[in-house]
Amino acid sequence: MNSPVVLTAGLIIFTTLAFYIHQMTYWENVRLALESIKSNRLRTLLTALIIAIGLMALVGILTAIDAIKNSMTEAFSSMGANSFTIRNRGTGIRIGGNGKRPKPFRSIRYEDALDFKERLQAPATISISVFATFGSTVKYGLEKTNPNTNIQGIDENGLNTMGFELEQGRNFNLNESLTGSNICIIGSEIATTLFKKESPLDKIISAGNNKLRVVGVLAKKGSSMGPSTDRAVYVPLYKAKLINSNANPSYTITVAVANNDIMDNVIGEATAEFRNIRKVKVNQPNNFEITKSDAVAQTLIENLRYVKWGGWAIGAITLLGASIALMNIMLVSVTERTREIGIRKAIGANPAVIRKQFLIEAIVICLIGGFFGILFGIGIGNLVALLMGGSFIVPWQIIGMGFALCFGVGIVSGFYPAKKAAKLDPIEALRYE
């Protein structure tokens, strides 16, 4: 037989055998670790419990934050992922700051909004909206809603730019938007409350002091940040101007682009055009504000990082205490099993084998505590997220990070006791009582 072939075959057999022996040694150490844990159930349980509590706090907070972030992103994406709004400066959501009220600016008039819609030549869909009344009661026959319904005026592009879908009926057309027809589109909650199983289309409802014919019903959208779209009445834009309860309303302009890549260019053109309409001088700042559809979500998500830091701090402090407790238990275990270590060394176990045994034991304790901590953390985190309107998620990245953290704590806590056990003199160990 050719000598290279024999050499290769021998090398493969030797490698396979060495790997098998290594695996046998590894599993033997795991078995010994589990036996030691079984014989010391109470202190192992207490140590694993400390680790579980630390990881539960960390994983729970991170899971809740991720679930809330996903929910917020979905909610704001449904409002129009590639859009921005132009509104009167100082009327947007403000987070943080010095607590001072923003300087009031001139409202965006109906004529300003229509002028902008006609003059902007960018490749975008433009809609105009305004709140006409707040807290109205909507009636049909003997049925009526609670006095918490908003009446909002929109044009023919309003449903599209706001991310709404029709379940029944039709949208407003351009002529109806500009002439203020006595028609409306209602949210799904209003349709269910007033009409039960009857079709709302072409029925006359009373919204506040206005008689309106229903031409459309919106698909159910669910609760999200801001006023509920399921509990709202939408009327043509000019009709909202006629019935508005505010003597000086400010209109909101929404601009939706087909591609997010051109968003900044369209914002630049819109800013320049609206400055001209508002007659803002070159050396003056904008007296209006432009907000991207996801800007509020991003601001809120950025503020969640403080909660995440708090979670890391709680987890780190608890895991530090758990690692100290685990190291103490392992040192006690080394002292109690000194004679056992001496016997193992006497029958051929080298320091590396002893070191591995105690390291694996520390890691197994950590992983047991980590498993239950991660399990309960995911459950608590998702429960908090669901109560806050979020969605259920399985955070695989956090799960992997949690187990890696447990593994690291096990190595750090078990290293010194394992080193101490490996250095014991077999003769002195055998004499230990």
Residue 239 confidence (pLDDT): 93
| Residue-wise burial string across 227-266, b where 16 or more C-beta atoms lie within 10 A, e elsewhere | ebbbbbbbbbbbbbbebbeeeebbbbbbbbbeeeeebeeb
Q: Are residues 220 and 202 in the same domain?
A: yes
Residue 269 confidence (pLDDT): 92
Using an 8 Å Cβ cutoff, are 206 and 151 in contact? Answer: no
Q: What is the pLDDT of residues 333-390, one digit of tens each?
A: 788 777 877 887 778 777 877 888 788 888 888 888 888 888 888 888 888 777 766 6
Query: Domain tally for the chain?
Result: 2
Which long-range contacts does 339-345 make (Cβ < 8 Å, 24+ apart)?
339/429, 339/430, 339/432, 339/433, 341/421, 341/424, 341/426, 341/429, 342/424, 342/426, 342/427, 342/428, 342/429, 342/430, 342/431, 342/432, 343/429, 343/430, 345/424, 345/426, 345/429
Q: Are residues 90 and 236 in the same domain?
A: yes
Candidates 236, 82, 212; CA nearest to 156 is 236
Res. 156: pLDDT tops 70 = yes
Using an 8 Å Cβ cutoff, are 367 and 375 in contact? Answer: no
Q: Are residues 263 and 127 in the same domain?
A: yes
Looking at 289, 317, 338, the residue that finishes a domain is 289
Q: Are residues 177 and 259 in the same domain?
A: yes
In a domain, 18, yes or no: no
* DSSP reduced 3-state for 179: helix
In a domain, 47, yes or no: yes
Q: What is the pLDDT of residues 283-295, one digit of tens each?
A: 888 888 888 766 6
Q: What is the pLDDT of residues 214-231, one digit of tens each?
A: 999 998 876 554 567 788
Instruction: Give the integer Cα–Cα distance in Å for 294 and 409.
Output: 39
Confidence band of 236 (pLDDT split at 50, 70, 90): very high
Q: Are residues 45 and 88 in the same domain?
A: no
In a domain, 2, yes or no: no
How far, in whole angstroms, is CA 357 from its chain's centroid?
A: 41
**DSSP notation for 358-398:** HHHHHHHHHHHHHHHHHHHHHHHHHHHHHHTT------HHH
Residue with tokens 């010194």: 416
Q: Are residues 87 and 188 in the same domain?
A: yes
Q: What is the pLDDT of residues 382-431, one digit of tens each?
A: 887 777 666 677 778 878 888 888 888 888 888 888 888 888 777 776 66
Residue 79 confidence (pLDDT): 53
pTM over the 0.75 mark: no
In a domain, 4, yes or no: no
**DSSP notation for 79-139:** TTTTEEEEEETT-S---SS-SPPPPP-----HHHHHHHHHH--SSEEEEEEEEEEEEE-EE
Q: Which domain holds residue 405?
A: 29-73+304-431
**Radius of gyration of the CA atoms of the chain, in A:** 34
Supply the mean pLDDT for the chain.
79
161: Cβ contacts below 8 Å, ≥ 6 apart = 80, 83, 125, 126, 127, 254, 255, 256
Q: At what angle do helices 305-336 and 295-303 cross, to 10 degrees?
A: 30
Q: What is the pLDDT of residues 51-89, one digit of tens each?
A: 888 788 778 877 877 777 776 666 655 555 578 888 886
395: Cβ contacts below 8 Å, ≥ 6 apart = 59, 62, 63, 66, 378, 381
In a domain, 111, yes or no: yes
Q: What is the pLDDT of residues 320-337, one digit of tens each?
A: 877 887 788 888 878 877
The backbone region for 223, taken as left when phi is positive above 0, alpha when psi lies in -120 to 50, beta otherwise, is beta
Q: Are residues 406 and 284 in the same domain?
A: no
Candidates 135, 128, 87, 117; CA nearest to 291 is 87
